[in-house]
Amino acid sequence: MADATLFRTCPDTGLPVHLPAQRLIKANAVAGVLALALGGLQGLMVALTRWPDLQLLPAEAFYTMLTGHGLNVLLFWIIFFEVAILYFASAILLKSRLAAPNLAWVGFVLMAVGALTTNYAVFQGDSSVMFTSYVPMRASPLFYLGIILFAVGALIGCFIFFATLVIAKDEKTYEGSIPLVTFGALTAAIIAVFTIASGAIILIPTLLWSLDLIPEIDPLLYKVIWWAMGHSSQQINVSAHVAVWYCIAAMVLGAKPLSEKVSRMAFLMYILFLQIASAHHLLVEPGISSNWKIFNTSYALYLAVVGSMIHGLSVPGAVEAAQRRRGFTRGAFEWLRKAPWGNPAFAGMFTSLVYFGFLGGISGVVMGAEQLNLIMHNTLYVPGHFHATVVAGTTLAFMAITYLVVPLIWRREIMFPTLAKWQPYIFGLGAAGISLFMMGAGTLGVSRRHWDINFTDAALSFSYPDTAFLMMALNGLSGLLAAIGGVMFVVIVVSSILFGKKRGDDAAETNPVIGVGGGQAVASYGSEGTLKLPGTMILVGVFFIAFFLYYWVNWKYLSEVWPLS
């Protein structure tokens, strides 16, 4: 049985909080934010280098910086934060003790050591192979070793999560089904196990190869397995940030999902249909047949996309229903106008939802059509797409929930509230900007991972259209804006944690961060009752029309390039 002295009762939500779990959540979140700070800075340097009139860094430093950027933000920031979410969604939301906290610390240390090792290898300058590390390009063994250690640590985090679910069930800390947010986290954790297994299958041999213990690794085979990890890990992010959307909507507005059945089915679709979705990273490789590509991108990718489109209805629907319950019933959109836009948790959540759907979702599906990929593969369109998903989507959602985690878990008030109010908008706008402008440049053919689109030192010459140069300048400016938003976030969070006013037990009344019924809504099972949602219907209608039109426009573009077969 759980030892009662290891718990405190949260004055805001009424939930019992397991103190060892709380310490682990803090450690993982802090490590994540540090990785984001470093990686974000590297992103800014990269964006300013790709601004042709500035070209901040020399070539070699640029490629090193880009490698570091991808690793620090995509792997280390996101996954540290996700481990914190797993512990929160299991121990806290299920009112349980966390399984084996000491082992969880071992996992944390492995992850930290791994992240430091890989960063060390990258900063040595002999491992500028990008985070994808396609063979036969070779990094130093430490590069692969660090990633493997990090992954083992993350795997331990997943098993701690599963074990906590088992404990909570055994000790009957909850009744009926687990809460939706925990269910979403469970989806993420299951996918993570598959992801890490694929990672091990490919990275361990690659490590041995870098030590000359294995003579050769087939470059195509490498990619097929690497993307089984690389793509699934993006599905972890989606599951995690959708869970975070539901979580914020529940905590801030007391929102419940429209239907537990539909939302959970949508999460399940992520697990069922992702396995070989890595196919859409391999659409223009030699030696892979069209049948395989079409089958795997469509059944796997599209059904996972359907899952996301379902969440795209039920998340705003839950917000609308909750707002209508609270009395904002006039017209189609009073609920949206009168939403708490000054609350950075809500603002970040809702903008993340919009950017993810409109920018990231649509572009991803378009790029994943077998033939359309021909006009996009490895152009800047690709980073444009995933900055919409993983920066404007995932990162913004994680930032948003941090505004709840600091008062609830750290028991500190957020410092600089005015700055905090603006932060999600500034970061979101910057992130949306880099997405859009990189997609724009990519549509004009500009290559990703490229230091000099003027080709100054090349033997031959070629010029991209002038508009492409404009896009790259606007991308640099947006990068600056995103970086300002990122710095604001780090400053607010770090200073609140260190120097924020201690949150007293009466703060739940004087300065509530949780809406009426929020603690109950997030930690229990239950669907929304009434379903009159004209606003949400209009929103998804607009989304569908945008999706539809943009999809066909791209087939039009494709039909104009040189015929090939």
Partner 1 sequence: MAIFPPEKRIWWKEPLHGFELVWIGICLVWAIVMFGTMIVWHVIGEQNLSNTAYRIDPDVFAARTEAMVTQYTVREEGDTGIPVVHPPAGSDVYLQASLWQWYPILELEKDKEYRLHLSSIDWQHGFSLQPTNINVQVHPGYEMVITLKPNKAGEFGIVCNEFCGIGHHNMLGRIYVVE
**Chain residues in the site for ligand HEM (CB under 6 A):** 40, 43-44, 46-47, 50, 66, 69-70, 73-74, 77-78, 130-131, 383, 387, 390-391, 395, 434, 448-449, 479, 482-483, 486
Q: CA-CA distance, 244 to 317, in Å (whole number)? A: 15
Among 218, 330, 505, 546, binds partner 1 (CB under 8 A): 218
Which of partner 1, ligand HEM, none does residue 542 bind (CB under 5 to 8 Å by kind)? none
Which of ligand HEM, partner 1, none does residue 486 bind (CB under 5 to 8 Å by kind)? ligand HEM
Which of ligand HEM, partner 1, none does residue 261 bind (CB under 5 to 8 Å by kind)? partner 1
Q: Torsion angle of alpha carbons 51, 420, 311, 243, nearest 10°?
A: 110
**Which residue type sits at 413?**
E
**H or E element, residue 184:** helix 180-210
Q: Is 529 in the site for partner 1 (CB under 8 A)?
A: no
Q: Rounded to the nearest 5 degrees, what angle is found at the Cα of 420, between the Cα atoms of 414 and 426?
A: 160
Q: Is 61 in the site for partner 1 (CB under 8 A)?
A: no
Q: CA-CA distance, 234 to 364, in Å (whole number)? A: 12
Binding marks (x or -) toward partner 1, 238..267, rule CB under 8 A?
Answer: --------------------xxxxx-x---
Q: If you search the block for the tokens 């976030």, which residue do you land on? A: 489
Tokens found for residue 294: 């079409």
Among 219, 327, 342, 504, binds partner 1 (CB under 8 A): 219
Kindly report whether the peptide bond that precedes residue 219 is cis, defined as omega within 30 degrees of 0.
Answer: no
Residue ranges in 50-134 assigned as alpha helix (H): 59-69, 78-87, 101-124
Q: Is 175 in the site for partner 1 (CB under 8 A)?
A: yes
Q: Torsion angle of alpha carbons 84, 87, 93, 94, nearest 10°?
A: 170
User: How near is the Cβ of 277 to partner 1 at its closest, in Å?
Assistant: 13
Q: CA-CA distance, 263 to 257, in Å (whole number)? A: 7
User: How near is the Cβ of 51 to ligand HEM at its closest, in Å?
Assistant: 9
Task: Using the minimum distance from each CB to partner 1, give the nearer residue, 444 or 477.
Answer: 444
Task: Using the minimum distance from each CB to ligand HEM, give the nearer residue, 18 or 50.
Answer: 50
Q: CA-CA distance, 457 to 454, in Å (whole number)? A: 9
Q: CA-CA distance, 338 to 330, in Å (whole number)? A: 11
In the region spanning residues 371 to 410, those forming contacts with partner 1, defined by CB under 8 A, are 371, 373-379
Task: Using the minimum distance from each CB to partner 1, give the nearer residue, 162 or 299.
Answer: 299
Task: Using the minimum distance from each CB to ligand HEM, give the nearer residue, 236 or 339.
Answer: 236
Among 176, 212, 418, 499, binds partner 1 (CB under 8 A): 176
Q: Is 53 in the site for partner 1 (CB under 8 A)?
A: no
Which of ligand HEM, partner 1, none does residue 9 bind (CB under 5 to 8 Å by kind)? none
| Buried/exposed 155-178: b ≥16 CB within 10 Å, e otherwise | bbbbbbbbbbbebbeeeebbeeeb
Task: Using the minimum distance from each CB to ligand HEM, give the nearer residue, 397 or 482.
Answer: 482
Q: CA-CA distance, 558 to 565, in Å (whole number)? A: 13
In the region spanning residues 499 to 528, those forming contacts with partner 1, defined by CB under 8 A, are 525, 527
Which of ligand HEM, partner 1, none does residue 44 bind (CB under 5 to 8 Å by kind)? ligand HEM
Q: DSSP label at 406? A: I
User: How near is the Cβ of 403 to ligand HEM at its closest, in Å?
Assistant: 17
Q: Is 369 in the site for partner 1 (CB under 8 A)?
A: yes
Q: CA-CA distance, 255 to 5, in Å (whole number)? A: 32
Q: CA-CA distance, 136 to 210, in Å (whole number)? A: 10
Q: Which of 178, 334, 166 is nearest to 246 (CA)?
A: 178
**Which residue type sits at 295?**
F
Which of ligand HEM, partner 1, none does residue 69 bind (CB under 5 to 8 Å by kind)? ligand HEM
Q: Which of 192, 21, 9, 40 is nearest to 99 (CA)?
A: 21
- Say whether 82 sits in a helix, a strand or coil: helix
Q: Is 215 in the site for partner 1 (CB under 8 A)?
A: no
Which of ligand HEM, partner 1, none does residue 74 bind (CB under 5 to 8 Å by kind)? ligand HEM
Q: Is 550 in the site for partner 1 (CB under 8 A)?
A: no
**Which residue type sits at 337?**
R
Which of ligand HEM, partner 1, none does residue 479 bind (CB under 5 to 8 Å by kind)? ligand HEM
Task: Using the minimum distance from each CB to ligand HEM, give the nearer residue, 396 or 420.
Answer: 396
Q: Is 451 in the site for partner 1 (CB under 8 A)?
A: yes
With contacts defined by CB under 8 A, how many residues of the chain interact with partner 1? 87
Q: Which of 294, 427, 264, 435 is nearest to 362 (CA)?
A: 435
